[in-house]
């Protein structure tokens, strides 16, 4: 069955349908990762987005739900050059086609993913629709479509959830967290309590944490300005560590500014240089917003890491408080584990 990807500028690409049979609109982004399609599809930072996979084939090792980054997927669609007919993985529970049907997510395969990527790189991130008919009623809605805050917030937990550990206790403020962050902390025997991102400082204090983690998540960090005063209070009292969205929020709380990138960083081949050690490591990334480097100079933050391709601010450290953050994902699911030492750095601060 034919299926179409239609951009807000009216251009379209033709492919074949898989996954759910619904029609949808979303923000179209691309990821350069050569594996990890399941982790990407279930990463809440992709909320409201249609993911264009640059790798030539996805689905070859199927789906095993224990590797999900969240219990449910919030993406709008999947684009692939080819999907595998045969699954070669003893852990697999279903095909990617079956998984997308179960999650009610439409997909298109046999589509020119390379041309789509080049279009986004030239024009910047665009809105697009997945439709089965070019006369679909959705066609008139693409240009004015916007992901509302209600959908962005539907993935955030509503009440505290605790993950066992006999060591230090970390309270993680949830903006759309990945399970792999919890897993990395638990590997270090850290007890983790995940709470809604707007939880009050008093409620957090009552949980008796040793440290605070600001999670990743989707959307514009400026949508969370109401919680910035809480972050300022927390960094005065506890070690604070921010990842991705958490990095941006820590910077905003301390007076820096953020901006929307042309097409963002999504994949796990991004080289990051540690300005303190001179070391370079490859990182897993998924973000469409970044911190304005010029705005850092007006704050008590210092830049500690940069992305070598475009000099994006990839890490900061507070010069007065025990707070730091990274733009990339040290949990690296999927991706290289070059930077998982960042969790050890956080643990050292918890133990100090």
Known binder of ligand: residue 217?
yes
Strand-pairing partners, residue 274, are: 305
Q: Is 36:335 a contact under the CB 8 Å cutoff?
A: yes
* Virtual torsion, Cα 243, 107, 109, 90, nearest 10 deg: 70
In angstroms, rounded to a whole number, what is the distance separating the alpha carbons of residues 258 and 251? Answer: 8
In angstroms, rounded to a whole number, what is the distance separating the alpha carbons of residues 124 and 263? Answer: 5
Known binder of ligand: residue 248?
yes
Known binder of ligand: residue 176?
no
In angstroms, rounded to a whole number, what is the distance separating the alpha carbons of residues 314 and 108? Answer: 33
Q: Is 255:298 a contact under the CB 8 Å cutoff?
A: yes
Known binder of ligand: residue 245?
yes
Known binder of ligand: residue 34?
no
Known binder of ligand: residue 219?
yes
Cα 199 vs. chain centroid, distance in angstroms?
Answer: 21
Q: Is 165:60 a contact under the CB 8 Å cutoff?
A: no
107, 126, 84: which is closest to 22 by C-alpha? 107
| E strand spans, the chain | 2-7, 12-19, 24-31, 49-53, 57-58, 77-80, 82-83, 106-109, 126-131, 161-163, 169-174, 191-196, 211-214, 240-243, 258-274, 280-291, 301-307, 313-318, 323-326
Q: Is 254:91 a contact under the CB 8 Å cutoff?
A: no
Catalytic residue ranges: 244, 329, 331
Provide the annotated binding site. 45, 217, 219, 245, 248, 286, 288-289
Provide the annotated binding site for L-glutamine. 45, 217, 219, 245, 248, 286, 288-289
């Amino acid at each position: 069955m034919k299926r179409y990807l239609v951009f807000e500028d009216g251009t379209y690409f033709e492919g074949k349908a898989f996954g759910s049979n619904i029609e949808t609109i979303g923000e179209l982004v691309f990821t350069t990762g050569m594996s990890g399609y399941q982790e990407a599809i279930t990463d809440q930072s992709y909320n409201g987005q249609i993911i264009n996979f640059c790798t030539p084939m996805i689905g070859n090792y199927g789906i095993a739900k224990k590797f999900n980054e969240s219990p449910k997927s919030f993406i709008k669609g999947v684009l692939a050059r080819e999907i595998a007919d045969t699954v070669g993985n003893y852990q697999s529970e279903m095909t990617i086609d079956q998984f997308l049907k179960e999650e009610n997510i439409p997909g298109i395969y046999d589509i020119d993913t390379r041309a789509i990527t080049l279009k986004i790189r030239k024009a910047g991130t665009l809105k697009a629709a997945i439709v089965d008919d070019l006369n679909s009623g959705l066609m008139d809605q693409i240009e004015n479509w916007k992901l509302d805050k209600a959908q962005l917030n539907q993935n955030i937990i509503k009440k505290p959830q605790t993950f066992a550990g006999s060591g230090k206790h970390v309270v993680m403020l949830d903006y759309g967290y990945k399970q792999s962050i919890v897993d990395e902390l638990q590997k270090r025997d850290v007890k983790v309590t995940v709470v809604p991102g707007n939880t009050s400082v008093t409620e957090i204090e009552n949980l008796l944490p040793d440290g605070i983690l600001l999670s990743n998540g989707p959307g514009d960090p400026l949508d969370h300005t109401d919680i910035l005063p809480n972050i300022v209070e927390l960094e005065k009292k506890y070690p604070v560590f921010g990842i991705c969205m958490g990095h941006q929020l820590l910077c905003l709380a301390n007076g820096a500014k953020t901006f929307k990138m042309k097409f963002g960083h999504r994949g796990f081949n991004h080289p990051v240089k540690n300005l303190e050690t001179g070391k370079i490591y490859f990182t897993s990334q998924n973000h469409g917003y970044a911190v304005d480097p010029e705005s850092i100079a007006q704050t008590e933050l210092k830049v500690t890491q940069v992305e070598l391709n475009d000099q994006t601010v990839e890490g900061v450290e507070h010069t007065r408080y025990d707070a730091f953050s990274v733009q990339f994902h040290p949990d690296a699911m999927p991706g290289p584990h070059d930077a998982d030492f960042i969790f050890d750095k956080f643990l050292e601060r918890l133990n100090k």
